[in-house]
A and B are shown apart, each in its own frame.
Chain A
């Protein structure tokens, strides 16, 4: 295949290099700033900074917020329930990582 003059789009790794304001996070995760504030109060998200205007969300907040948006919308769970669900999902993902480390992955 001969390809010439392709401009390769350079991206930015969100988790490593990006800190988002509440406005950017709500745009990127398609949710309201009010919900994000409620989730910060509940401890689902932990930005740095003291007031909503100063909040900076680390890059890994994006996928967490997206999961929170889907779970709260699709299963109509309230904020405390959501916080619990995310905590349990974190535990499951830690356990899966442990399975990877001990090599118990589908070796039949």
Chain B
């Protein structure tokens, strides 16, 4: 296990006041909040900052953490000294608690124990609730699918990782496999509700539901805006000028023939109606033209460009008065 320097995480000195710690935490929490920050590691950073704050905002936990001394460096191999917390009294009835239950690092748990495990039902029903019936908790997970799955529908076996408590009270991650039918027409950001696949209910209350939030794997060809799809289509200068017919691949895996009219310019947006993500009102597939110019490497190619230049009285910079 590696030592975590909570002061370093929050970027404050060991002697920082409560107010300093709070303001450092607030600033970092806003910066890394996964709803605000779309960087890949934002969520991880956000959790680290939350864990550091859970310790340093709490006078008792902070004092216990501090008495391990200031010689530890982040990332150093660490085992809590025996009886390290002797003589400390924790008013929250032992360790644990805090806003980040279930998300703490191994380091945090070895020092402060685990937060109260959230029970299957809501609000921590205890055993004397006999005869009470509660629907199980709803669960949420994010899954990535291919854009083609949204066009064609798909059957996918997905693996979800669920933190659970083992018999000795330690958190272990259980893998759960689900065979899910991905409906045609689903879009990024939408939720797929699987009835009865959430937490177990209590009494005669049914199981909760599982909500899968859908996102697409990044696609090298297509850009996605809701149900509309964008594709850049490079054309050779002579194809754009003279017109041609090109084959355009769709995310569904099919190919469309697209007629490029003569004198097509770069940046022209051609709409293929209804070829976006299917639904009652399907999206559109937009093809954006680009002009790709081949490099002039051989003598023959240079001559061709020179002949090209001679054939036109063309100044693309008239508006620059150049």
Minimum distance in angstroms from B311 CB to a CB of chain A: 31
Contact of B180 among A9, A27, A62, A103 (CB under 8 A): A9
Tell me the count of chain B residues lying within 8 A, CB to CB, of chain A.
48
Minimum distance in angstroms from A92 CB to a CB of chain B: 9
Using A30-B138, A101-B230 as known contacts, say yes or no to A13 and B192 having CB atoms under 8 A apart.
yes
Tell me the residues in window 1-24 of chain A with beta carbons closer than 8 Å to chain B beta carbons: 6-16, 18
* A12 pairs with B35, CB closer than 8 A: no
CB 8 Å contact bits of B85-118 with A (1 = contact, 0 = none) = 0000000000000010000000000000000000
A sample of 18 inter-chain contacts (CB < 8 A) reads A6-B157, A8-B180, A9-B181, A10-B183, A11-B194, A11-B212, A12-B193, A13-B185, A13-B186, A15-B187, A15-B191, A16-B190, A18-B193, A27-B138, A63-B213, A70-B34, A75-B26, A75-B29
Besides A12-B193, A103-B288, 7 more A-B contacts (Cβ < 8 Å) are A13-B192, A16-B279, A30-B122, A66-B140, A74-B50, A89-B36, A97-B225
Contact of B223 among A8, A18, A28, A100 (CB under 8 A): A100
* A9 pairs with B225, CB closer than 8 A: no
For A14, the chain B residues whose CB sits under 8 A away are: 190-193, 211
Max count, chain A CB within 10 A of own CB: residue among B178, B192, B213, B279: B192
For B208, the chain A residues whose CB sits under 8 A away are: 27
Does B268 sit within 8 A of A, measured CB to CB? no
* A28 pairs with B178, CB closer than 8 A: no
Q: How far is the CA of A63 from the CA of B194 in the complex (A)?
A: 16
For B29, the chain A residues whose CB sits under 8 A away are: 74-75
The total of Cβ contacts below 8 Å across the A-B interface reads 96
Q: How far is the CA of A59 from the CA of B190 in the complex (A)?
A: 9
CB 8 Å contact bits of A59-81 with B (1 = contact, 0 = none) = 10011001100110111000000
* B225 pairs with A101, CB closer than 8 A: yes
Does A51 sit within 8 A of B, measured CB to CB? no
Q: How far is the CA of A14 from the CA of B33 in the complex (A)?
A: 25
* B225 pairs with A100, CB closer than 8 A: yes
Secondary structure of the B side of the interface? Answer: mixed
* B35 pairs with A89, CB closer than 8 A: yes
Tell me the residues in window 12-40 of chain B with beta carbons closer than 8 Å to chain A beta carbons: 26, 29-30, 33-36
Chain A residue with Cβ nearest B288:
A103
Q: How far is the CA of A32 from the CA of B226 in the complex (A)?
A: 30
* A75 pairs with B191, CB closer than 8 A: no
Q: How far is the CA of A67 from the CA of B33 in the complex (A)?
A: 11
Tell me the residues in window 204-221 of chain B with beta carbons closer than 8 Å to chain A beta carbons: 208-209, 211-213
Contact of B35 among A7, A13, A70, A105 (CB under 8 A): A70
Contact of B232 among A6, A30, A70, A103 (CB under 8 A): A103
Using A101-B230, A105-B223 as known contacts, say yes or no to A7 and B179 having CB atoms under 8 A apart.
yes
Chain B residue with Cβ nearest A106:
B218
Using A8-B155, A63-B189, A63-B213 as known contacts, say yes or no to A103 and B181 having CB atoms under 8 A apart.
no
Contact of A67 among B35, B209, B288 (CB under 8 A): B35
Q: How far is the CA of A69 from the CA of B280 in the complex (A)?
A: 32
CB 8 Å contact bits of B172-183 with A (1 = contact, 0 = none) = 000000111101
Minimum distance in angstroms from B199 CB to a CB of chain A: 11
Minimum distance in angstroms from A45 CB to a CB of chain B: 16
Contact of A103 among B179, B187, B211, B223 (CB under 8 A): B223
Max count, chain A CB within 10 A of own CB: residue among B50, B193, B286: B193
Q: How far is the CA of A23 from the CA of B63 in the complex (A)?
A: 43
